[in-house]
Amino acid sequence: MFILIRTAFILALVMLAIWLVGDVLAVLFAAALMAVVLHGLARMLRRHLRFIPYTIAVALVAVALLSLITGLIWSNGPAIGEQFLSLKSALVAQSGDIHDHLSHSSFGRIILDHIPSTIGGNDKSSSLGSFGSGLAGSVTGLLGSAFGLLGTIFVVLMAAFYFAASPSIYINGFLRLVPPHQRATARKLLFAAGNTLWAWTAGQALDMLVVGLLSGLGLYLIGVPLALALGVVAGLCNFIPYIGAILGAVPALLISLSLGTREALFVAILYSVIQFCEGNILAPLIQRRAVHMPPALAILSQTVFGSILGAPGLVLASPITAALLVVFDRALPPLENAEQTQLAVDEINNEELAAQQKEQAEQDKKNVGDTQASSHTDIKK
């Protein structure tokens, strides 16, 4: 009973700390996530150029990324900026047209009465509206601080660079806070979380690139204006799993409605096909290297972290959850006979269970062979 009370008290203190300094924690985790990316890219560079010191490799990666971003902004920034301004004007006009169209019918007025006023409806007392105001307030509090948006980005980038340049200093400093007999386990958990964040981020970057390119190309072929800006929006929104797919599709659907019902239907089909391919082809490839995140858990984590940290929490919810999942998976003992639960709830039958066990045995055998081949290669080197 004492252990249960102590655990509940510790969790309450942690939640209170997150609530009080949520903006700071969001900046800290964003810097850590960026540091993981710099560290992973620097390690890849050193595999090919072993003579480069690690700190120099991190600096070269940082300079290369900044140069790439600056070049993209310099070459395509004006065109993308103009398209985004046109997109904003078109969305405002289209939302006004939809509101006027709905207000002319009794059924439409019923719909507007149940839509919060913050997103164009008539309901001023909706909890969704207050939730949206809470998110907006959190963002305003973060960006309206002493540093502002540019200052916050600068702090994240600088902290990420120093985290990546000397990761051992910060890891060892954290481990000193852990009891000596648990430091070895804590070090393994930190490395597991870092490897998961690197795999998740790399996979998600590929996912965003593919979705953005396919969305922009598909909208261009359909004839939707501002296809470049809409493709960028779809790619960026896809950083947020599940919810991001909806957020990225809404602007394109609104713009296509101004062209006609047929174009809107084509756009809906386009985004449905892209998300189907993303969920059944890209996502499984990503989950082979990163932790598998159940969809319900991903959506609930976005709700929880979004309500606590605001919009930054919504964006960072998935990588935070991925890191926590792998930590809990490594820290807790494995569940024996987990397949019995699937059998009990009729998710699988005995034949499917046997097929899964055979496939797992073959995969384990393949992994052992790959490990042995890698060890022989390292010995030869």
- Highest-confidence segment of 113-117, 207-211, 291-295: 207-211
Does 354 fall in a domain?
no
183 Cβ neighbours under 8 A, 6+ residues apart: 175
Residue found by looking up tokens 């991903």 in the block? 298
Does 60 fall in a domain?
yes
* 24-45 pLDDT per residue, tens: 788 888 899 999 999 999 999 9
Entry pTM = 0.68
Q: Is residue 315 classed exposed, middle or buried when 0-12, 13-18 and 19+ CB atoms within 10 A define those classes?
A: buried
Residues 181, 17: contact at Cβ < 8 Å?
no
Does 182 fall in a domain?
yes
* 108-121 pLDDT per residue, tens: 666 666 565 555 55
Residues 42, 58: contact at Cβ < 8 Å?
yes
Tokens of 103: 């207000």
Three-state DSSP state, 190: helix
pLDDT given at position 317: 85
Does 53 fall in a domain?
yes
Three-state DSSP state, 248: helix
Residue closest to 80 by CA, chosen among 230, 215, 224, 248? 230
Does 97 fall in a domain?
yes
* 312-345 pLDDT per residue, tens: 888 888 888 888 888 888 888 877 777 777 777 7
Does 102 fall in a domain?
yes
Count of domains forming the chain:
1
Does 12 fall in a domain?
no
Domain that holds residue 92: 22-334
Residues 83, 229: contact at Cβ < 8 Å?
yes
Residues 93, 256: contact at Cβ < 8 Å?
no
Cα-Cα end-to-end distance for the chain: 56
Does 295 fall in a domain?
yes
Q: Is residue 330 classed exposed, middle or buried when 0-12, 13-18 and 19+ CB atoms within 10 A define those classes?
A: middle
Rg over alpha carbons for the chain, rounded to the nearest Å, is: 24
380: pLDDT strictly greater than 60: no
